[in-house]
Amino acid sequence: MKAALLGHGTIGVGVDRIAASLPEIDIVRVLALETDDEILGRHTFHADDILNDPEIDTVIEVMGGIHPAWEFLSRAMKAGKNVVTANKAVVAAYYRELVALSLEHHVAFRCTAAVGGGIPWLVSLEREKRGDCIRKIGGIMNGTTNFILSRMARDHMAFNDALLEAQRLGYAEKDPSADIDGDDVRRKLSISASVAYDCFVDETKIPTAGIRFVTTDDLAFGTRTHSVLKLAAFSRRTEKGVSAFVSPVFIPSEELLASVPENVNLLTLTAEHSGELSFAGQGAGRYPTAKNVVLDLLDIVSGVPAFYTDHTAAAEIDNLEECYSWYFRSTSSSLLPAEIVEETSHETAVTKKLPVPDAFRYFSLLKETDPEAFIAAIL
């Protein structure tokens, strides 16, 4: 395989170093903002040097972001090149277009590292559904937020200190907004659900709440109720389509999800024959993530060119049967209608069981007057 790297940051350097020991993969060109000894003689500032080179059969995109990644990937496929990416933002935003291009141009499109970093999650979904029906998926899909919540709970750290620590350790993205606002999890859930259920689960339709404004008082509610606060993704097949949402959630402390430490991810599928299968491990970081990119490349070399599904019909997002009690904390909690509130204390309210769309509607109402309002489901 003659491959080229688009991007030479944390993941790109990892891919280049792992591939250097594998005779099947020859990385001949590297698009990067600056050159260094490792890429001397292979470096270019111009994507055209890669996209117009007929000798290069595979493009590895590890730049991140939606543009120009989408333009580069689509041009690569139209030029007959295989594509491997670790970039969940571009895959979630252009899922249907990327799958269609790979089918039309008979090229491979793989993105195992885009969900779960080094965990073999998308490939396991693909394998599992060949002989079983996946009913439900979800779990902890973001290491940064799990790290922040773990440190806040264990060490009584303030949110900002825990975030700085996550950035120092290289877990958080440069701009941590996508991590702490839940967008990163929403993209991973969109891709995972699309693969698991053979359809297209549009990320823009997934209700999402993050942890940007979580406080130590919110965590204290967990301590009082013998539960642990996590940011989690939920999805299952429903009669009408697919349920999917991302939210902070108080999980009873004896449950497996509650015990996931530090930056670990825990991804779980539930299938008819297999029951529950969970995958835990490093959801981020240079070498775990780069390893999954390299395994995709080796899959292509050994003749596994397909994406994880060819089916991209849009699924209806149907969260009406997802009912939970909800914890709200806001200076505007008094705006919640009395008939849905079970108990209140100062700025917090715990509701009766409400479906996800209702809970998110009340959350939007609170945020109109209090942008720092916080919501969490209670399991």
Q: Point out the residues that are catalytic.
A: 188
Q: Binding residues for ligand HSE, how many (CB under 6 A)?
A: 11
179 binds ligand HSE (CB under 6 A): yes
Query: What is the maximum alpha-carbon separation in the chain?
Result: 69
Of the candidates 278, 307, 306, 283, the one whose C-alpha atom is nearest the C-alpha of residue 113 is: 283
360 binds ligand HSE (CB under 6 A): no
Distance of alpha carbon 88 from alpha carbon 115, whole angstroms: 7
173 binds ligand HSE (CB under 6 A): yes
Distance of alpha carbon 205 from alpha carbon 215, whole angstroms: 27
Of the candidates 275, 252, 270, 92, the one whose C-alpha atom is nearest the C-alpha of residue 184 is: 92
We find the least distance from the C-beta atom of residue 185 to ligand HSE, in angstroms, to be: 8
Q: Which residue has the tokens 């939920």?
A: 234
Of the candidates 164, 187, 229, 258, the one whose C-alpha atom is nearest the C-alpha of residue 374 is: 229
Q: Which of 72, 171, 324, 326 binds ligand HSE (CB under 6 A)?
A: 171
**Please, which of residues 117-156 interact with ligand HSE by CB under 6 A?**
117, 142-144
Closer by beta carbon to ligand HSE, 59 or else 172: 172
We find the least distance from the C-beta atom of residue 142 to ligand HSE, in angstroms, to be: 4
We find the least distance from the C-beta atom of residue 339 to ligand HSE, in angstroms, to be: 39
Strands (E), 223-263: 227-237, 242-252
Strands (E), the chain: 2-6, 26-31, 43-44, 58-61, 82-85, 109-110, 134-140, 227-237, 242-252, 264-271, 275-282, 323-329, 341-345, 348-351, 354-355, 374-378
210 binds ligand HSE (CB under 6 A): no
Q: Which of 184, 203, 296, 318 binds ligand HSE (CB under 6 A)?
A: 184
Q: Where does this chain touch ligand HSE (CB under 6 A) — which range of 58-66, 132-140, 165-173, 338-346? A: 165-173
Site string for ligand HSE, 276-305 (x = CB under 6 A): -------xx---------------------
We find the least distance from the C-beta atom of residue 290 to ligand HSE, in angstroms, to be: 12
Distance of alpha carbon 114 from alpha carbon 178, whole angstroms: 14
We find the least distance from the C-beta atom of residue 285 to ligand HSE, in angstroms, to be: 8
Q: Which residues make up the interface to ligand HSE (CB under 6 A)?
A: 117, 142-144, 171-173, 179, 184, 283-284
